[in-house]
Amino acid sequence: MSPKIKPDKLQENPRTKRFGKKVFFKHKVSSTNEWAKELAKLGAQEGTVAVAETQTAGHGRLNREWISPEGGLWFSIILRPKALASKAIQLVFVVGVAVAEVLRRRFRVKVETKWPNDVLVNGKKVCGILVEMNTTREEVNYVVTGIGINANFDVRKVLPRQLREVATSLENELGRKIRLEKLFNALLENLERTYDLYTVKGFTPVLQIWKKYANFLGHKVEVSNQEEKITGLALDVDDEGALVLKLEDGRARRVFIGDVSLCV
């Protein structure tokens, strides 16, 4: 089986209504998120997707580098939600649910969601999600949701030493390569379904599913961001996507930015 993506198999997903009806593919781009933003500025419709085989400047949250070798699934989808900018962060959870459900159903692996934007398999990060938006005052013009899945490569050969302990790939977990086009199409179907649930029924049902995968809830965690390190019991993720911690002195604290690690 080819570890690479087959561009002709990405087009015209017959099982979606809007997502992936227009798919742009390049072997190499700087970042599919940057490319999708250009397409959105030119008026691309909701559901348009930009896919690349490799990215030379893939990036993640807090502008961190996202290493994107051949064999990964790197793509960005354009959304045009009728939402206020303050709510658009909820889309991170919409995407997280869609990815988690597809990975669990297709590969029968132990999937977890980790606040705010990671999907883990067997306790290690396999997918990162980056949501970026363009707004006019409080109104959202478009949102680009980037999804990076470590798929057909061995993280021990590709990622720097410090990431090998915390990251994994589907190949590492399954012991085989997968068909990237099939995973791509399954993701688009589930993304459309979860996004429709979100637009019709709101954030609550999506967040409920996301929390079912959130094994860190109920455990003592450390949240670090540029300003501080906070330790507490991870109580909940609330309707604004904030992580609610119970601090050691018993007070509750809502956190909006940071990296979570379990305290052992």
Q: How far is the CB of 60 from ligand BTN (least distance, A)?
A: 2
Q: Cα-flanking dihedrals φ and ψ of residue 157, to 5°? A: -95, -20
Residues near ligand BTN (CB under 6 A), total: 21
- The SS3 assignment for 64 reads coil
Pairing of the two strands 118-121 and 111-114: antiparallel
The residue (of 75 and 198) whose beta carbon lies closer to ligand BTN is: 75
Between 130 and 243, CB nearer to ligand BTN: 130
CB 112, CB 119: distance < 8 Å = yes
> What DSSP string describes 182-198?
HHHHHHHHHHHHHHHHH
Nearest residue (CB) to ligand BTN, 145 versus 194: 145
CA proximity to 144, closest of 28, 238, 243, 59? 59
Provide the pairing of β-strand 49-55 with 220-224.
Answer: unpaired
Write out the H or E segment, with its range, that includes residue 92.
helix 90-107
Pick the binder of ligand BTN from 20, 71, 81, 146 (CB under 6 A): 146
Taking the least distance from each CB to ligand BTN, the nearer of 7 and 60 is 60
Three-class secondary structure of residue 53 per DSSP:
strand
Nearer to ligand BTN, 32 or 172 (CB): 32
Distance CA 208, CA 4 (A): 35
Is 148 one of the binding residues for ligand BTN (CB under 6 A)?
A: yes
Q: For residues 30 and 208, which CB has a smaller minimum distance to ligand BTN in the complex? A: 30
Stretch that binds ligand BTN, among 6-14, 16-24, 106-114, 146-154 (CB under 6 A): 146-154
CB of 151 within 8 A of CB of 144?
no
Site for ligand BTN in 23-82 (CB under 6 A): 31-33, 55, 58-61, 64, 66, 68, 74-76
Find the distance separating the first CA and the last CA of the chain, reported in whole Å: 41
Q: Minimum Å distance from CB 151 to ligand BTN?
A: 12
Residue in 77, 102, 129, 140 binding ligand BTN, rule: CB under 6 A: 129
Q: Which of residues 231-260 bind ligand BTN (CB under 6 A)?
A: none
Q: How far is the CB of 5 from ligand BTN (least distance, A)?
A: 13
Sign of CA dihedral 170, 59, 260, 245: negative
Binding site for ligand BTN (CB under 6 A): 31-33, 55, 58-61, 64, 66, 68, 74-76, 117, 128-130, 146-148
